[in-house]
Amino acid sequence: MSSEALNSHRTGPLRLPTSLGPFRIKRALIAAVFVALAVFPGELGALTRSLMTDAFVQVSVFVAATLMLFYGAERVFKFDIGSALQNARGAQVPLAALLGATPGCGGAVVVVAAYSSGHVGMGALVATLTATMGDAAFLLIATRPEVAAVVLPVSMAVGVASGWIVDLIHPRQTIPRGQTCDVVAPIGKLRLRDLVYLVVALPGLIVGAAQLFQIEITGFFGIPIEPIALAGVATGLFVWAASPVNAMTATSDSPATRATEETSFITVWVLGAYLAYDYAAAYMGLDLAATFQSVAPLLPLIAIAIGFVPGCGPQVLVTTLYINGVIPFAALIGNAISNDGDALFPAIALNPRAAVIATIYSSVPALIVAYGFYFAAPSFMN
């Protein structure tokens, strides 16, 4: 290096590092905050650990299982869902709605990735976000299957209709011929952290599935579930803090790597939503059930507004309130149509403008269908 260049280097502006070894410094700091809250003594720490356990067994394990199913099918049958959707032409919107209507958020996340890489248009994005009920679908299927048999097909039909209408009024997003579906560089070989995360997620999935069917399981082969869940959360935070990608993974990566990376990304947002809501309930006196009971005509509107909140936690709460008879079916169907589940998190990260537009589009049919049931069939499924 020349003396001039050396002097320029020495006198140049001070740049703070954006990474800490293999970690991104901002993500590492956020992960550290979560850990600090979990180990905090007293009531706050206990509440945080309980919420982290719930987030892991109620959401994360189902997201991981669904993503493994989709990405594993892609690898086994040697097809790419994004490219398949792009080539579907007129069937693109119905297929996107079908993926969205699949219980959990994995199908909708796949469509969000396809939109971000230009393989589907805004209509498909709106269709999948409108059709998805997220992880709340698991709870409804387990507790009120006859209601789920109505909600899921109605949400899918509304998603298809909404997607087709949006495609008529919204310019389509296209990509050059021959461009791949990948929006990021591949991570490469399967890593130890991927295997560890999925191994820890397996007992969490068993416990979570049992809870959906109202079977109480407090442990796994004699091990309490909380340490297992917290180990899963900690592994996910490590994966996210050290991740080389922003949200979505490359199609060439292994299904285990893709499921681990994307589930860890979603889990961080889910943890934030769970903690924010329950902290408010515990320390600010927020009582959503009491609010619902006091404003009957506004119940569908309130449920739809809650659907705008990213993540599945608030939506699971709305479904729980319906199961317990606190809110009517009109509010449940409005929330089911308006909520985007965990798929909204990667949508916000990858394309925030599109995420906002798609959410606004989905609010219109949610209002129409919810208040249609409220006024035309107020006692339906109640």
pLDDT of residue 171: 65
Using alpha carbons, list the distances in angstroms from residue 50 to 60, 199, 213, 242. 14, 21, 20, 25
pLDDT of residue 297: 86
Residue 237: partners with Cβ closer than 8 Å, 6 or more residues away: 31, 34, 35, 264, 268
Residue 288: partners with Cβ closer than 8 Å, 6 or more residues away: 281, 317, 321
Start-end of H helices in the chain: 3-11, 25-39, 43-55, 61-77, 81-87, 92-101, 106-116, 122-131, 136-143, 145-169, 192-212, 225-241, 255-283, 288-294, 299-307, 313-323, 329-338, 344-350, 352-376
Is 265:247 a contact under the CB 8 Å cutoff?
A: yes
Is 87:290 a contact under the CB 8 Å cutoff?
A: no
Q: What whole-number distance in Å separates Cα of residue 108 and Cα of residue 125?
A: 8
Q: Could you tell me if residue 182 is left (phi over 0), alpha (psi between -120 and 50 degrees) or otherwise beta?
A: beta
For each of the chain's 382 residues, which pLDDT tens digit applies?
A: 444 444 444 444 434 344 455 678 999 999 999 999 999 999 999 999 999 998 898 878 888 888 898 888 878 887 767 677 777 778 899 999 999 998 877 788 888 878 877 788 899 999 999 999 987 887 788 678 899 999 999 999 999 999 999 999 876 654 444 444 444 678 888 999 999 999 999 999 988 888 777 777 776 777 888 999 999 999 999 999 999 887 667 778 999 999 999 889 888 877 887 788 788 778 877 676 666 667 778 899 989 998 888 877 678 778 878 887 888 999 999 999 999 877 787 778 777 888 888 889 999 999 999 999 999 988 888 7
The residues pairing with 23 across neighbouring beta strands, listed in sequence order, are: 20
pLDDT of residue 295: 79
Cα torsion at 232, 235, 240, 242 (round to 10°)? -170
Considering Cα of 131, then 133, then 134, then 137, what sign does the dihedral take?
Answer: negative
Q: 319: which 2 tokens?
A: 């479904």
Nearest to 341 by CA among 180, 150, 122, 110: 110
Is 210:203 a contact under the CB 8 Å cutoff?
A: no
In the chain, what are the domain boundaries? 19-269
DSSP code of residue 24: E
HSE of 66, CA atoms in CB hemisphere, 13 A = 26
Q: What whole-number distance in Å separates Cα of residue 307 and Cα of residue 318?
A: 9
Q: What whole-number distance in Å separates Cα of residue 232 and Cα of residue 277?
A: 21
pLDDT of residue 216: 76
